[in-house]
Homo-oligomer: A and B are copies of this chain.
């Protein structure tokens, strides 16, 4: 099995050179220094490489088992998770006022990428907890926060997100789980009844307690989205006793895992069906306002979507490492007349460089988005915060959908580089493809992301936030054009900018055309998101090329920069054109979709 080496060098390049550690200059991060960030990355890399990564293949092979309502996760997972929690990693991006480490999101994202690359199935456990922290921190009452947040942040308890029901997937308005209020004198809580499916890490023994955040409908609530509220349902009640002198557990709540799914991948992550209220009802506490459950859930969903994008990048990075290691070792055929490893064959190099260039580009874009999140939360100036927030809202669906679609393709190319060995499970390349394949589906399918971008996000500001981003891309094309060694990249990127501007006009027209109706933009959404993703990734690689070229011109002989220039060249000249084709797709119109009757044949 190929060992994992967390990509610290490239993460540092992005944080230090592309983003110039901008987040560290924001109010609230005075304690954090570049040296501290470097130490954090190195330490996280050690955890990823030495503790989490070696459990990836064994966790996949062993999977999870359900026995009498208890889920056994793969051997080693509990210790690996506890080591992570005890190391304080769970609170790395959480504000110090809440007991976290208070580091910028951009640093937290870098750490997440390493951990997901090491072991995506295990990485899901803290990823879901982070969502629960976010929901409680923003919408929980002081009492709920006091009782539950510290344990979640230290990671001794974990969190889950309970949205999906058999009839309610992308369409959460169909949620049927009921939450019945109990008499005020009993404490003002609710009793929940219903079934939730696809609950990631919904049951396990890695933590003392599990806090389920559950969407449910109160009695007499209106139909649809506005009748849905958010509840906290702990696995064990009366948490006081959990930390009491006698060490006894609180009472078991009326929620039970009735089955776990047999999935294509992420076998080490239990995907549970949870049954609430088989007896007296599962006791739950209202989070935020009644009827605003979906809004509250979406607060955290935005960040969860960014995290899923980052997760895709982690798996893509590992796929690169497997493919490069194999290609550099496998002798087959001849190149320039001599025996050669397959990495010498240009067609294999095309696959390798395509994997590497895309992974680098996706990473730079996802971290750029995280840095904008830092600005949106921490900048002193309100207008600056608002502008960054507008940018984040456009970027997040792109980071989520484009990174995960690309991660599947990158992992699939990784299988291909291995030839027949790639199809054999023991090699590990196939697992990465199986694991990666979930990311375009969960936390809002990539189709939903595209609708969010082309529908809601663009239409509400008339494309202003995206246009401002495109203006920045255009500035990069000019910087590239000014450097003779990079002028060809500038030209290609400028062509991408022109395509994107033209497509944006068309998509905005679709969204406002009363003839075609509000749904029409859906037909254009996915091609449009792909075009945005390609242009923004090419932009980041253009910026990377400028930095790398400057380093080379200043006399650096670090091979990292030469490699980065090759990645940038490939990303902009060989990859971007494929994305640019989406303009033609969009311009051709979608008459065939509107007329299409799936039942016809």
Q: Establish whether residues B592 and A573, one from each chain, have CB atoms under 8 Å apart when the complex forms.
A: yes
CB neighbours (8 Å) of A585 from chain B are 573-574, 577-578
CB neighbours (8 Å) of A588 from chain B are 492, 573-574, 577
Binds B, one of A86-94, A163-171, A304-312, A463-471: A163-171
B-contacting residues, A560-600, CB 8 Å: 560, 562-563, 566, 569-570, 573-574, 577-578, 580-582, 584-585, 588-600
Name A169's contact: one of B328, B420, B519, B596 (CB within 8 Å). Answer: B420
Q: Which 10 A-B pairs have the closest CB atoms?
A: A577-B584, A581-B581, A346-B522, A573-B588, A569-B592, A343-B598, A346-B523, A264-B430, A171-B332, A347-B447
CB neighbours (8 Å) of A596 from chain B are 349, 352-353, 566, 570
A345 on the B face (CB < 8 A): yes
Q: Establish whether residues A347 and B522, one from each chain, have CB atoms under 8 Å apart when the complex forms.
A: yes
A451 on the B face (CB < 8 A): yes
Q: A328-B598, A574-B588 are in contact. List 18 more A-B contacts (CB 8 A).
A: A164-B420, A261-B424, A262-B424, A262-B426, A263-B424, A264-B433, A327-B598, A346-B519, A346-B520, A346-B593, A353-B592, A416-B445, A562-B600, A569-B591, A570-B592, A573-B592, A574-B592, A578-B585
A119 on the B face (CB < 8 A): no
Q: Establish whether residues A593 and B350, one from each chain, have CB atoms under 8 Å apart when the complex forms.
A: yes
Q: Could you mark each residue 499-528 of chain A with 1 if its beta carbon is under 8 Å from any beta carbon of chain B, else 0?
A: 000000000000000000101101101110
A324 on the B face (CB < 8 A): yes
Known A-B contacts A328-B598, A420-B441; A345 and B522 likewise in contact (beta carbons under 8 Å): yes
- Give the interface SS of chain A, mostly helix, strand, loop or mixed: helix
Shortest CB-to-CB span from A515 to chain B, Å, is 13
Chain A interfacial positions (CB closer than 8 Å to B): 9, 164, 167, 169-171, 174, 197-198, 261-265, 324, 327-328, 331-333, 335-336, 343, 345-353, 356, 408, 412, 415-416, 419-420, 422-426, 430, 433-434, 437-438, 440-442, 445-447, 450-451, 492, 517, 519-520, 522-523, 525-527, 559-560, 562-563, 566, 569-570, 573-574, 577-578, 580-582, 584-585, 588-601
CA distance A167 to B450 in the complex (A): 45
Q: Establish whether residues B577 and A581, one from each chain, have CB atoms under 8 Å apart when the complex forms.
A: yes
CA distance A289 to B581 in the complex (A): 51
CA distance A601 to B353 in the complex (A): 12
Q: List 19 A-B contacts (CB under 8 A).
A: A262-B426, A343-B598, A345-B447, A345-B519, A346-B593, A348-B447, A349-B596, A419-B445, A430-B437, A527-B574, A559-B601, A560-B601, A562-B597, A566-B592, A569-B591, A569-B592, A570-B592, A578-B578, A578-B585
Q: Establish whether residues B441 and A419, one from each chain, have CB atoms under 8 Å apart when the complex forms.
A: yes
Q: Establish whether residues B600 and A559, one from each chain, have CB atoms under 8 Å apart when the complex forms.
A: yes
CA distance A599 to B264 in the complex (A): 32
CB neighbours (8 Å) of A9 from chain B are 601
Known A-B contacts A347-B525, A573-B588; A416 and B441 likewise in contact (beta carbons under 8 Å): yes
Q: Which of A170, A438, A601 has the most CB of B within 10 A?
A: A601
CB neighbours (8 Å) of A347 from chain B are 447, 450-451, 522-523, 525-526
CA distance A594 to B520 in the complex (A): 45
CA distance A327 to B343 in the complex (A): 42
CA distance A422 to B595 in the complex (A): 26
Name A442's contact: one of B415, B420, B447 (CB within 8 Å). Answer: B420
Q: Which of A167, A198, A420, A492 has the most CB of B within 10 A?
A: A420
CA distance A593 to B197 in the complex (A): 47
CA distance A353 to B433 in the complex (A): 25
Q: Establish whether residues A169 and B332, one from each chain, have CB atoms under 8 Å apart when the complex forms.
A: yes
Q: Establish whether residues A349 and B446, one from each chain, have CB atoms under 8 Å apart when the complex forms.
A: no
CB neighbours (8 Å) of A574 from chain B are 527, 585, 588, 590, 592
CA distance A415 to B440 in the complex (A): 10
